[in-house]
Amino acid sequence: MHLDVLDLRNFYYRTKLGRVAQRAIRDTVVRMWPHAKGQTMAGFGFAAPLMRPYLADARRVIAMMPAPQGVMPWPAGMENVSVLCEEAAWPLTTGIVDKLILMHGLETSEQPSAVLEEASRVLGPGGRALFVVPSRSGLWARRDVTPFGFGRPYSLGQLEAQLKRHDFTVERSVSALYAPPSGHPFWRRTSEFFERNGRLFSPFISGGVLMVEVSKQARVAPRGGLGAVVRRPLRVLEGMGQGAPEPALRDSSSAGKANGNE
């Protein structure tokens, strides 16, 4: 079940813990995708906070928000680029997207397969998608004071298997949100330290979210008939199975000489 868009907005933009989470995930996204100049970028769920760094250079930025969640104008103080849509019917042309981000769009969906089908449909040749989901082994999925405590958390194996079933190729995966999900001033002050050194703590400390980057596999249409053409076929077996040729009829004079009847 999707969270309400007002709850998501208040968490990411109105709370100190939400701003810590937004900064940690967004910085990781920017490290993975330094730019999107001249490209079309789309987000589904509540990916808007992660796409702001690309507004200046991207050819187009679209924030799609599912109907059960609701929609809000975004970005503030600029021309609105957010749109309300159905989970299984995104208002985008097939193959138009170069970069796609999903956050709070997959784990909270009641029809995740339809969401993945739409993600595959709108992603163009050479495009990349980034899925941001709660980690099953992380602390953030165990507390419902944040949006990552709702929906279905994933392990890396579970998420990769689901993506592969929908013809995505996993390119790389990282974790983020190593700081505890606490609003205590100490943890907020040390959050950047945890993010910088989070991988060194593994496997003792797991990140709160998994971030998996994928590309789309190209399906090859099956061909009818023999798949390979023999360029130099063997002639040895030609004629097998046919009747043996009958001898030519001899004329009567020759037959007579052969029998002594000249």
3-state helix, strand, coil in the chain (%, to 5): 30, 20, 45
Q: Which of 134, 157, 151 is nearest to 208 (CA)?
A: 134
CA diameter of the chain:
131
As given in the structure block, the two tokens for residue 242 are 């046919």
149 within 8 A of 134, measured Cβ to Cβ: yes
208-222 burial, b if ≥16 CB within 10 A, otherwise e?
A: bbbbbbbebeeeeee
pLDDT of residue 239 exceeding 70, the answer is: no
39 within 8 A of 98, measured Cβ to Cβ: yes
Give the full edge-to-edge strand order of the sheet including 82-85.
Answer: 82-85, 60-66, 40-45, 97-103, 123-134, 209-216, 168-176
Long-range contacts of 73-77 (CB under 8 A, 24+ apart): 74/48, 75/48
pLDDT of residue 232 exceeding 90, the answer is: no
Task: Return the number of other C-beta atoms located less than 10 Å from residue 94's C-beta.
Answer: 12
pTM over 0.85: no
212 forms beta bridges with: 131, 173
pLDDT of residue 125 exceeding 70, the answer is: yes
Give the tens place of pLDDT for each residue, 141-181: 998 889 999 999 999 999 999 999 999 999 999 999 998 88
Give the tens place of pLDDT for each residue, 64-83: 999 999 999 999 999 999 99
Q: Is the dihedral of CA 53, 54, 56, 62 positive or negative?
A: negative
Give the tens place of pLDDT for each residue, 86-103: 999 999 999 999 999 999
Quote the pLDDT of residue 206: 79
